[in-house]
Structure 1
Amino acid sequence: MITIKGLKKVYPAKHQDVLAVDNLNLEVSKGEIFGVIGYSGAGKSTFIRLLNRLEDPTEGQIYIDGKEISAMGKQQLRKSRQEIGMIFQHFNLLWSRTVRDNIAFPLEIAGISKGKRRARVDELIELVGLKGREDAYPSQLSGGQKQRVGIARALANNPKVLLCDEATSALDPDTTDAILRLLVDINEKLGLTIILITHEMHVIRKICHRVAVMESGRVAEQGDVLDVFLHPQQQVTKRFVEQVMGDKDQEESLHLLENYQNGKVARLHFVGETTNQALISQVSKQFDVAVNILQGKITQTQKGAYGTLFVHMEGSDEEIARAIAFIKTTSVEVEVDADAE
């Protein structure tokens, strides 16, 4: 659906040019939710503005649904932009217009008749859950409601791609979850391709199928969300994963070992269906070992659940070895961290 080749953006400056996006290459499949994550200054917002030509690339090509957006002239680009919806962090609503009129605005620009506009707006109001708020002004809406208006407006012209630039950053956690659920619902109902820019890993975890991690204008790492969470390669990715999994808390929990005189600590990695197994109970029943859970966390992604559990096993070396061998047969990954002495 979207192919990006050698994308580069340089901003000229008096003393030294600023390289915002540097040789970026990506493929986004039709109908997927693709996340792009990076810290401030990573180049992710410039990247998304290049996608719909709010910024012109210095080098490289952008293809959307087989059309080279990066090579289009103004007239052709104006028409192609109707197939690319965009929602923003701070909503960008017209404050003198009602909810209905905000949503209808892109349809007016496209020259759609009044009757068809009204029917389409009614459809969108229902889709985003704003029934009963049609005549309200932005100042009368909550943050979540404003973003719902922004989403409805972005969908007005039946786009093939929806670009989300930090769409939940200005919202509280509960409202963020509601907006993310709405985006998933839209993705499933309309088969819409969504590219979501964020600096929050929990947003990626909750709704994205694949993710690209940006740093210094480049893609540092990319892949399926579950794979990236399980096996982060780059330091920047490890920092983002830590946001969700709380590795620091897990490390701190190992100080509990001071309370034990013998045994071993094992780190168990659960993926997919194995997260639902009553594994600790099974081990305790089948082997002469005492198992104490020190720290654990299981979380969900679009591709399945995964988690890490730190356990302390106390018993004879032979019996602990048998218990660990049994755990490995269940497809749970086991890493023995240290002896408690």
Structure 2
Amino acid sequence: MISISDVKKIYQSKSGPISAVDGVNIDIGQGEIFGVIGYSGAGKSTLIRMLNGLEVPTNGTVNVNGQIVSKVKGKDLRQARQSIGMIFQHFNLLWSRTVLENIQFPLEIAGVSKKERLRRANELLELVGLDGRGDAYPSQLSGGQKQRVGIARSLANNPDVLLCDEATSALDPQTTDSILDLLVDINKRLGLTIVLITHEMHVIKKICHRVAVMEQGKVVELGDVLEVFRNPKEQVTKRFVREVSQVEETGETIDHLLAQYPKGKVLKFTFVGESTEQPLITSLIRRFDLDVNILQGQISQTQKGAYGTLFVHLDGNEETVQAAVSFAEEQMVKVEVIGG
């Protein structure tokens, strides 16, 4: 569906060339929800803008649904963009037009008849949950409702791909979740390929199938969301995972745990998928002569299963503790001894 091949984007500045995107290779499948995450300046916005021709690569090719977007111009580019919808952080609605008129705008540009424009706009209003608000103006809508209008407008031309540029960054957490749920529903109903960029790991965790982590213009890590959560390799990825897991793993916190429990061992258990449903702690208590204290933990849901971390303190003789660790690993739980 989408193939990004050895793409580079270099800007010229007074201080010299700036490499915004540096040798990126990504393939995205039909119907996939693919996330690109990175902090400010990582190159993710430049990358997504190259998918619809708003930016042209300095080197490399961008192929979207068989069309080399990085090569076409003029009329061919405008036609290619009709199959690529886009929603933005700040909605980009026309404030002098009603909701229905905003949704119809891309169809108006495409030369679709007034009757067909109205039919399609009402159909999309229902899809995004805004029945009855067609005559309202953007100033009369909440942030979440404005983004729903933006989503409806982006779907007007029946695109094959939907690009989301920090689409939930301006929204509160509850509204963010409702918009993400809507995107998942649209993906399932329409089989739409969705590519989103964000600096929030919560967004990736909630709806994405795969994720690319960007830093300084490069993709430093790429894989299934669940696998990236389970085994983040790069420091930037580990930082994102810590943010969303809500489990502090700083040296200061670990030192505090070790000071509080000087005897025995402090362990970090990492659970993925079906292992999150196993009664591991109950089994440890029943099978081994140990004192088991749960210190802190968190379980999160992703599109491909659950991911969780749990810090525990095991107090007992060395041989028994080691046997308990081995038992936990046999249950497909990753075990890390952090002290003791």
- Would you say 1:94 and 2:103 are equivalent positions? no
Q: Deviations over 1:44-85 (max 9, x none)?
A: 111111111112222211111111111112111111110000
- SS of 2:55's equivalent? coil
Contact 2:32 2:194 in 1 (8 A): yes
Counterpart amino acid of residue 306 in structure 1: Y
Contact 1:49 1:55 in 2 (8 A): yes
- SS of 1:107's equivalent? helix
- Would you say 1:216 and 2:216 are equivalent positions? yes
Contact 1:37 1:201 in 2 (8 A): yes
With normalisation by structure 1, the TM-score equals 0.95
- SS of 1:233's equivalent? coil
Contact 2:33 2:207 in 1 (8 A): yes
Counterpart amino acid of residue 13 in structure 1: S
Contact 2:247 2:297 in 1 (8 A): no
Matched residue, 1:233: 233
Q: Which moved more, 1:316-325 or 1:142-151?
A: 316-325
Counterpart amino acid of residue 279 in structure 1: L
The equivalences for 1:119-138 within 5 A come to 119-138=119-138
Q: Deviations over 1:213-237 (max 9, x none)?
A: 1111111111111111121121221
How far apart are 1:138 and its partner, in Å? Answer: 0.2
The equivalences for 1:144-223 within 5 A come to 144-223=144-223
Determine the C-alpha separation between the residues in 2 that align with 1:329 and 1:20. Answer: 45
Matched residue, 1:262: 263
Determine the C-alpha separation between the residues in 1 that align with 2:243 and 2:262. Answer: 32
How far apart are 1:335 and its partner, in Å? Answer: 2.3
How far apart are 1:253 and its partner, in Å? Answer: 5.4
How far apart are 1:3 and its partner, in Å? Answer: 0.5
- Closer/same/farther in 2, CA of residues 329 and 233 from structure 1, 3 Å limit: closer
Matched residue, 1:5: 5
Contact 2:83 2:159 in 1 (8 A): yes
Matched residue, 2:53: 53
Matched residue, 2:334: 333
Counterpart amino acid of residue 117 in structure 2: R
Determine the C-alpha separation between the residues in 1 that align with 2:18 and 2:334. Answer: 44
Matched residue, 1:283: 284
Counterpart amino acid of residue 170 in structure 1: A
Matched residue, 1:62: 62
Counterpart amino acid of residue 314 in structure 1: D
Matched residue, 1:312: 313
Counterpart amino acid of residue 280 in structure 2: L
Contact 2:247 2:296 in 1 (8 A): no
With normalisation by structure 2, the TM-score equals 0.96
- The alignment covers a number of residue pairs equal to 339
Q: Which moved more, 1:322-331 or 1:204-213?
A: 322-331
Contact 1:250 1:295 in 2 (8 A): no
Matched residue, 1:118: 118
Counterpart amino acid of residue 327 in structure 1: A
- Closer/same/farther in 2, CA of residues 335 and 253 from structure 1, 3 Å limit: closer
Structure 2: stretches of 5+ with no match in the other structure: none
Determine the C-alpha separation between the residues in 2 that align with 1:261 and 1:87. Answer: 53
Contact 2:247 2:298 in 1 (8 A): no
Matched residue, 1:71: 71
Contact 1:20 1:43 in 2 (8 A): yes
Contact 1:253 1:294 in 2 (8 A): no
Counterpart amino acid of residue 131 in structure 2: K
Aligned identity (percent) is 63
Contact 1:250 1:296 in 2 (8 A): no
- SS of 1:248's equivalent? coil
Contact 2:48 2:197 in 1 (8 A): yes
Structure 1: stretches of 5+ with no match in the other structure: none
- Closer/same/farther in 2, CA of residues 178 and 155 from structure 1, 3 Å limit: same
- Closer/same/farther in 2, CA of residues 286 and 130 from structure 1, 3 Å limit: same
- Closer/same/farther in 2, CA of residues 318 and 6 from structure 1, 3 Å limit: closer
